Amino acid sequence: MCGIVGVIGNGPAAPVILGALQRLEYRGYDSAGIATLVNGHIERRRAEGKLANLAASLARTALAGSTGIGHTRWATHGAPTERNAHPHGTARVSIVHNGIIENHAELRAELEREGQEFTSETDTETVAQLVDFNLRRGMTPIEAAGAAFGRLHGAYALAMVFAGHPELMIGAQFGAPLAVGYGQHEMFLGSDALALAPLTRRVAYLRDGDWTVVTREGAAFFDAEGAEVTREIRLSSVAGGGVGKGGYRHFMEKELHEHPAVIGDTLHRMVDPASRAVMLPGLAMDPAAIERVSLVGCGGAYYAALAGRGWIEEVARIPADIDVASEFRYRAPPMAAGTLGVLVSQSGETADTLAALKYLRHAGTPVLSVVNVAESTMARESDAVLQTVAGPEIAVASTKAFTAQLTVLACLALGIGRARGTLHAAREAELTAALLQVPAAAALVLEDTATIQRVAERLMVARDVLYLGRGTCFAIALEGALKLKEICYIHAEAYAAGEMKHGPIALIDRDVPVVAIAPSGPLFEKTASNLQEAAARGGQLIVLSDAEGAAKLRRIAVETMVLPRVDPFVAPILYAIAVQMIAYQVAVLKGTDVDQPRNLAKSVTVE
């Protein structure tokens, strides 16, 4: 799961590749590497760890050559060492790969019997050795690569260069995206349009099974059967300018402070200011005809979808199913007619969610994506897109994209409800008014730094933390626990508050803080009873509520964060900001790598 890039350039390729890899680092930062062609020979430079290590190595000694490939890695097969860093290859061929070659063990055994010598533990090297073996048998690079693709099982985006062919790159796609960029007498390959953005706006996307032969003059495309095909060159609108921290310590801190603007911008697109009615432009099907919704996402996006399910059931009064994408695909649920598939993703490149997209399309189910990256694979391949206007999100832990997803899903529920006649105009206006109040309330939450600091000081010393919530706020308990795990490395679990007494309550003692997401509303009293049960067993309650709820729980809470009072319908959006801020502050206190936490990648492009 990685980012790949290729360049046939007019000047030194390595700095161009390095720049593109910086834009792809969201796909992994376990190691990085570049291979170029220097006087017809393949030269390679690799470094363990973040891209900065490779950049430092290149700054010490430059890598010549105007044609080359590069890679930033999230390790799957083989430890994140320099030895396992891409590019992989031999003196004849060098390859970078995003994906997983599932039949690598059989191929490796076969190739070793044929005398190919492996130097890494990766699945990728089998592709390089297979192409090399074909070259050894006298095939041309195009024949060698074309023959190799037919042997691969799994998912791949590949780019490769060949010794003695200084102006040739071959790329291939199956289950992982690859784009071809057209420059001025220069050509590029990249995992996405962002990688290519400052280099060119003219981009063609491969389809699954395609492979491409790229020279300085252009690119030829072939399908899985080897027939030459045409792939449209589009004008990309992705901006390639670097995103800075704007004076904040971390991207995550900056992105947290963008919550009010992002929620406001998203609402601006979705709510008509005059009528207070939700606008759902270009849905994949007539909202009045939607009889069921099937929501799919991964990680935080799944939690946003979980809140979305609650809203859709509440106001649109239709059944809503929900799955994590990795389960959905293999559970292979029968899709009833009248179902709208709703995919939720920040990146639009998450492999499991893309597999769900394929499944839904195969089942003939219309697909709506709630996606942040406009030209992502998911956005391009869905029937309809409701874009979250969160802007680039750089920190691995999602913050503003999550609340933008919540905002879009809340609006989607209102739009379907109105179309189906389960939500009347007056109530819709009330709920959109409540949504429009969120940006200002969000700004107040961000200002409460003193409380956030106190809560963070309690949590930073904990080994385990429980998060509790009910209804749509259960999704926020899950979000809080996920954030604490991913950036603070603290074990945290979330439970629907009423479920705690069925087992997890056994965990509660004085050392386990319990964070309660408890806004006033119809579920408050029930949640409060569950919190009493936890307090009675010594639980250290940290209560997140509004003034009224906080007053009721102050006696049993060791810490209280008072949030602005909002309509319970929109509370999840506001409380998400609080749990994210708390996790951020814990991470700062613990001194973790906030923006690029260990073992993670921003976009998970393998199954």
CA distance 8 to 31: 23
Among 158, 263, 271, 301, binds ligand AGP (CB under 6 A): 301
What is the smallest separation between the CB atom of 548 and ligand AGP, expressed in angstroms? 31
What is the smallest separation between the CB atom of 182 and ligand AGP, expressed in angstroms? 27
Contact 265, 387 (CB under 8 A): no
- What is the CA 363 to chain-centroid distance, rounded? 24
What is the smallest separation between the CB atom of 299 and ligand AGP, expressed in angstroms? 2
Q: 345-384: which residues touch ligand AGP (CB under 6 A)?
A: 345-347, 350, 353
What is the smallest separation between the CB atom of 88 and ligand AGP, expressed in angstroms? 26
Return the H-helix or E-strand segment holding 311: helix 299-311
Using the rule CB under 6 A, give the single segment among 155-163, 226-234, 299-307, 522-530 that binds ligand AGP: 299-307
Task: Give residues with Cβ within 8 angstroms of 562, minimum separation 6.
Answer: 448, 451, 545, 546, 547, 550
Number of residues that bind ligand AGP (CB under 6 A): 15
Based on the shown chain and the rule CB under 6 A, indicate whether residue 98 belongs to the binding site for ligand AGP: no
Amino acid, single-letter form, for residue 354? L
- What is the CA 97 to chain-centroid distance, rounded? 19
Map tokens 């700095």 to a residue: 15
How does DSSP classify residue 272?
Answer: -
Based on the shown chain and the rule CB under 6 A, indicate whether residue 604 belongs to the binding site for ligand AGP: yes
Among 20, 51, 298, 315, binds ligand AGP (CB under 6 A): 298
What is the smallest separation between the CB atom of 605 and ligand AGP, expressed in angstroms? 9
Residue 541 pairs in a beta bridge with: 514, 557
Q: Which positions are annotated as active-site residues?
A: 2, 602
Q: SS in 3 state form for 437-505?
A: HHHHHHHHHHHCHHHHHHHHHHHCCCCEEEEEECCHHHHHHHHHHHHHHHHHCCEEEEEEHHHHHHCHH
Among 299, 439, 469, 564, binds ligand AGP (CB under 6 A): 299
Distances (CA, A) of 538 to 514, 526, 542, 556, 582: 10, 19, 12, 10, 22
Q: Token digits for 406? A: 């919540």
Residue number with CB closer to ligand AGP (48 or 595): 595
Using the rule CB under 6 A, give the single segment among 200-208, 344-352, 362-370, 536-544 that binds ligand AGP: 344-352
Contact 323, 303 (CB under 8 A): no
Torsion angles phi and psi, residue 283, rounded to 5: -60, 155
Residue number with CB closer to ligand AGP (345 or 520): 345
What is the smallest separation between the CB atom of 189 and ligand AGP, expressed in angstroms? 22
Q: 472-501: which residues touch ligand AGP (CB under 6 A)?
A: 486
Based on the shown chain and the rule CB under 6 A, indicate whether residue 94 belongs to the binding site for ligand AGP: no
Distances (CA, A) of 323 to 239, 329, 332: 33, 9, 11
Residue number with CB closer to ligand AGP (396 or 573): 396
Among 407, 527, 603, 605, binds ligand AGP (CB under 6 A): 603
Contact 389, 262 (CB under 8 A): yes
Encoded one letter per residue, x for contact with ligand AGP by CB under 6 A and - for no contact, window 390-419 reads ------xxx---------------------
Residue nearest to ligand AGP (CB): 299
What is the smallest separation between the CB atom of 482 and ligand AGP, expressed in angstroms? 6
Residues in contact with ligand AGP by CB under 6 A are: 298-301, 345-347, 350, 353, 396-398, 486, 603-604
